[in-house]
Amino acid sequence: MAKVLMKGNEAMALAAIKGGCDAFFGYPITPQNEIPEYLSYHMEQNGRVFVQAESEVAAINMVYGAAGSGARVLTSSSSPGIALKQEGISYMAGSELPAVIINVMRGGPGLGGIQPSQGDYNQITRGGGNGDYKLLTFAPETLQETVNVVKASFALADYYRNPVMIAVDGLIGQMMEPVDLDQPIEEKPMKEKTWAATGEAEKRGHRNKIVSLHLDPYELEKHNLRLKAKYDEMKATEQRYELINMENNPEIVFVAYGSMARIARSAIEALKQEGIEVGMIRPIVIAPFPEKAFDDLPGSVKTLLTLEMALGQMLQDVQIVNQGRYILDFYGRAGGVVPETEEIVEKVKAVLKEAGHAN
Amino acid sequence: MQTKTVYKPTEGLTERDLTYCPGCTHGIIHKLVGEVLVEKGLIGEAIGVASVGCSVMSYEFFNCDMQQAAHGRAPAVATGIKRVKPEHTVFTYQGDGDLASIGLAEIVHAAHRGENITVIFVNNAIYGMTGGQMAPTTLIGQKTSTSPVGRKKKGAGEPMRMSELMATIPGATYLERVSVHDPKHIRKAKKAIEKAFDVQTNEQGFSMIEFISTCPVNWGIQPNDSLNWAVENMIPYFPLGVYKDATKDGNDEK
C-alpha cells in the first residue's frame, strides 16, 4: 500500500486492526480520543469487538477477561487513565496474559495538563502496579515506526504472555504524517494458546484457570522467578535502539526517545552546520532499557546528555547503565512544554564551554 | 444386597475440599450452581469468574474454565470474556463487599449494557474473608469489627438493597432474591439459578440471583442460630422474590 496521510491516533487504531486485534475496551481521555473513536466504527465493520467501558478500571479488566479467553486485545489511554489501569495491568502480568496498551502521554502529576509529555517513564518502566513485574515497552519516534510497532506488539505480547505497552507522547498521537500501514514487519511466531480459559474444559479434557493468587509464599516465589526468567529473556532479545551520527566521532551524545528524539535530530543537524558533531542513542524500547547501546560508543565520546520531556526520569536509567564511564548531563522540559531545537543547541554549547571548548 | 445411589456430589464441582467455614451457606450455593450447570449441559463449555472475598478460591471448586478477577471487577472481566466468547455460558460469583461496594460501578454498568451474563451474588451482610468488617449490606445496629457498637445510620447510611437498585436498570432482564436457610427455600433457589442460566442461554441478557447467606464465624453466632438470624433480621430488610422479569415482554431496552 502507498503512504497515506493520517493522524497518529487514527494510524495506531488502524495498525491495531491490521495487527489482528480482536477486541478493544477503552474510556475517553485526551489526547488519545481518536483511537476509540476510530475503532468504535471500524472494529464493528471488521466483525470485531468494541466496548466503551464505564471507567479505565473496568476497561482494563475487560481486557483481562478477553485476554484470558485467548483473544488479541487492545486498550488505549493517557497518563491519568493509565494510572487507573495499573490494577488490571498487574493482574495480567501476574496471570501471564498478553495484551497491548497504548499510552499517549500528557503532563502530570494529577490531572496535570493535556499537552505532550514523557512524565510517565517511571510509572511504565518501574512497574506501575503492585508486585514484581515488568512490561515490554516501546517508545517510537515517527508515525511509521509507531504503526509498525503496534502491528508487531500483539504477536510479541502473545509470545511473552505479558502486556506490551506502546508509550508515545501527545505529539505523536495528534500529529499527521505520511505512513504506510502495510510495511512488512518482523513478527514473533504464533504459539497455540493452550493455557486460555476458552470454555472448552470438556473438549480439552481438563480445566484451565487464569489466576494470579498463590497463597503459599514458596509457590509465589517460584512464580516470581519464572516471571523473572521471562523478563531476562526480554532483556537479552528485545533491547532495541538506534545509534545516530556516531561515525563522525562526537564528543557529546544525546540520549532521547520519542518526540524528544525528533527534536534532538534537528539539533544535531543545526549543530553540524556550525561544525559541531553530536551523536544520539535513541532507545526504541525503553523497558527493558537498551543497555547494550552504551557499550560500543566511539572513543571520542565524553558526555552523555540525556534529553526528556520530563525532569530526569530516564536519566536514572542512564546513570545506572553508565557505571561512571561518561560525564552525565541533562536537559528537560516538563508540564507539556515541548523544547525548541535552539534550546538543545544552546545546551550543547554550554556543555562544551564548561568542558573547556570555548566556542 | 443391591445398593441404590440416592445422593452423590455434583460433577459441577471439583473434588477439592471447600475452604468455607462450618455453617456458612457458600457450600450450598456452590452445589446448586454446579448442579444446574451439569443438568443444563453447560459445565463443559462454561467460563466462571471468581471474585475477591471468601469465594476467591471458587476457581478451584467450579468444574469448568475459571478466571479470577480483581476485587469488584468480575462483571467487567465477564464482559470481556462474553464479548469474545458469546457462544459460551459466562457467570460471576461475588460477595456483597465485592459487588455492592468496590464493584458497584462494574455491576451497574454490566447490567446497563445488558451483558448476557449470569451473576451469582452472595449477601451475608459482612466482609467475611478479611475478618468481619462492615459491608454496605450490614444491618443497622449490626456489630462488626469496624462498627463495634453496631452500624449507625448517621455516617454509615442504611444497608444497600442491590436487587431493588438493579431493578431500576432498563438493561437488566432477570433479578431474584432467594435464601437457602431451609430445604424448601433451597429448592426455590435452585429454580432461580435455572431461570437465570436459561435467560443467558436464550440470549435474553443480564441475570442476577441474590442469595441471603450466613457468616456464623464473623457474626459470632452458632450455625443453626445464624440461619434463624438471617430469617429474622435479613429477610425482613431484604425481602425475597423476583425483582425483575423481562423475559416475556423483553426488557425495556429491546
For residue range A321-356, list pLDDT tens digits in order.
999 999 999 999 999 999 999 999 999 999 999 987
pLDDT by residue (tens digit) across A239-271? 999 999 999 999 999 999 999 999 999 999 999
Give me the residue label for grid cell 556543555: A351
CA-CA distance, A316 to A295, in Å (whole number)?
17
Identity (one letter) of the amino acid at A90?
Answer: S
CB atoms within 10 A of CB A225: 11
Among A96, A204, A207, the strongest candidate for a mutation testing the B interface, having the largest count of B CBs within 10 A, is A207
pLDDT by residue (tens digit) across B19-32? 999 999 999 999 99
Contact A201 B65 (CB under 8 A): yes
pLDDT at residue A357 greater than cutoff 80: no
pTM of the model: 0.96
Instruction: Report the DSSP beta bridge partners of residue A103.
Output: A77, A167
pLDDT at residue A358 greater than cutoff 50: no
> Which grid coordinates are listed for A130?
503492585
Look at residue A111 in the predicted model and tell me its pLDDT.
95
- Which three-class secondary structure state does DSSP give residue A92? helix
By percentage, how much of chain A surpasses pLDDT 70? 99
Contact B77 A73 (CB under 8 A): no
Over range A48-73, report the average pLDDT: 98
pLDDT at residue B216 greater than cutoff 90: yes
Task: Give the CATH class of A241-354.
Answer: alpha beta
Look at residue A190 in the predicted model and tell me its pLDDT.
86
Q: Is A197 on the interface with B (CB under 8 A)?
A: yes
pLDDT at residue B251 greater than cutoff 70: no
Q: What is the DSSP letter of B231?
A: I
Which of the four pLDDT bands, split at 50, 70 and 90, describes residue B238? Answer: very high
Q: How far is CA A338 from CA A263, A332, A333, in A?
A: 9, 9, 7
Which of the four pLDDT bands, split at 50, 70 and 90, describes residue B113? Answer: very high
Instruction: Give B202 to chain A, closest Cα distance, Å.
Output: 18
CA-CA distance, B129 to B127, in Å (whole number)?
6
Nearest residue, CB atoms, A209 vs list B66, B83, B90: B66
Domain boundaries along the sequence of chain A: 4-237, 241-354
Q: Which residues contact B137 (CB under 8 A, 6 or more apart)?
A: B96, B100, B123, B124, B125, B126, B159, B160, B162, B238
B-chain CB neighbours of A62 within 8 Å are 76-77, 79-80, 83
Q: How far is CA A88 from CA A91, A155, A212, B19, B70, in A?
A: 5, 20, 11, 26, 7
A-chain CB neighbours of B115 within 8 Å are none
Q: Is A84 on the interface with B (CB under 8 A)?
A: no
Over range A217-244, report the average pLDDT: 98
CATH of B26-245, one of 3.40.50.720, 3.40.50.80, 3.40.605.10, 3.40.50.970: 3.40.50.970
Over range A196-218, report the average pLDDT: 97
Contact A62 B77 (CB under 8 A): yes
Q: What is the ipTM of this complex?
A: 0.96
Contact A65 B78 (CB under 8 A): yes
Over range A60-79, report the average pLDDT: 98
Nearest residue, CB atoms, B105 vs list A55, A69, A95: A55
Q: Is B40 on the interface with A (CB under 8 A)?
A: no
Look at residue B167 in the predicted model and tell me its pLDDT.
98
Superfamily of domain A4-237: Thiamin diphosphate (ThDP)-binding fold, Pyr/PP domains (3.40.50.970)
Over range B145-173, report the average pLDDT: 98
Q: Pairing mode, if any, of strands B90-95 and B118-123?
A: parallel
Look at residue B254 in the predicted model and tell me its pLDDT.
39
CA-CA distance, A240 to B37, in Å (whole number)?
50
Tell me the DSSP string of B102-129: ITHHHHHHHHHTT-S-EEEEEE-SSBTT
B-chain CB neighbours of A69 within 8 Å are 47, 80-81, 84-85
Give me the residue label for grid cell 464473623: B218
Tell me the DSSP string of A211-230: -----SHHHHHHHHHHHHHH
By percentage, how much of chain B surpasses pLDDT 90? 95
- Which three-class secondary structure state does DSSP give residue A1? coil
pLDDT by residue (tens digit) across B71-102? 999 999 999 999 999 999 999 999 999 999 99
Q: Is A20 on the interface with B (CB under 8 A)?
A: no
Q: What is the DSSP letter of A338?
A: P
Q: Is A201 on the interface with B (CB under 8 A)?
A: yes
pLDDT by residue (tens digit) across A144-194? 999 999 999 999 999 999 999 999 999 999 999 999 999 999 888 888 999
Look at residue B248 in the predicted model and tell me its pLDDT.
83
Instruction: Report the DSSP beta bridge partners of residue A23.
Output: A49, A73
Q: Is B99 on the interface with A (CB under 8 A)?
A: no
Give me the residue label for grid cell 487507573: A84
Q: Is B47 on the interface with A (CB under 8 A)?
A: yes
- Which three-class secondary structure state does DSSP give residue A147? helix
Over range B182-207, report the average pLDDT: 98
Contact B89 A199 (CB under 8 A): yes
Look at residue B25 in the predicted model and tell me its pLDDT.
97
Q: What is the DSSP letter of B211?
A: E
pLDDT at residue A132 greater than cutoff 70: yes
Which of the four pLDDT bands, split at 50, 70 and 90, describes residue A31? Answer: very high
Mean pLDDT taken over chain B: 96
By percentage, how much of chain B surpasses pLDDT 70? 98
Nearest residue, CB atoms, B68 vs list A55, A201, A213: A213
Q: Is B101 on the interface with A (CB under 8 A)?
A: no
A-chain CB neighbours of B66 within 8 Å are 197, 207-211
Q: Is B56 on the interface with A (CB under 8 A)?
A: yes
Among B15, B52, B79, the strongest candidate for a mutation testing the A interface, having the largest count of A CBs within 10 A, is B79
